[in-house]
Amino acid sequence: MANEAYVQILPIEFLSGCDMASFRAFLNSPVGPKTTHFWGPIANWGFVAAGLADMNKPPEMISGNMTAAMCVYSALFMRFAWMVQPRNYLLLACHVSNETVQLYQLSRWARGQGYFPQKKDEPASE
C-alpha cells in the first residue's frame, strides 16, 4: 500500500527513467548512502570547495604549513581510497581534486614568498 502512494505522488517521467531494483541495489551497496564510504567523501568535498574559493585571495593570506598538511593528507587518503575494499572511487576523486587545488595554492604561496623566481620579460634579440 505504501508503494502505491509513492506511485501516485511521483510524476510518471521519474518512474519511467528509474529502475527500482538498481536504486535499491545502490542504496544497500557497500559504498551506498547508508555507509561512511559515501558520506565521508561527500563531506570532504568541502575542502575542495574551500580551496577553490581561496583562489581569489591574495597569496599573503595562504598558510604554507596548512596547505602542505592538506597536500600530505590528500596524498595519503588517495592511497587509502585505492587500497580499501571495496575500492572507494568517490573518495579517490575527492582527494585527487583536493590535491590538485592544494598544490596550486602551495605554488601561489611559494611564489608569493619568493621561493620561485619571477619570470622576467626578455627583450627580443635581433
Contact 70, 98 (CB under 8 A): yes
Residue recorded with cell 510518471: 12
Q: Whole-model pTM?
A: 0.68
List, for residues 30-43, the tens digit of each pLDDT value: 777 887 778 888 88
Tens digits of per-residue pLDDT, 49-99? 999 999 999 999 999 999 999 999 999 999 999 998 888 898 899 999 999
ω into 86 cis (within 30 of 0): yes
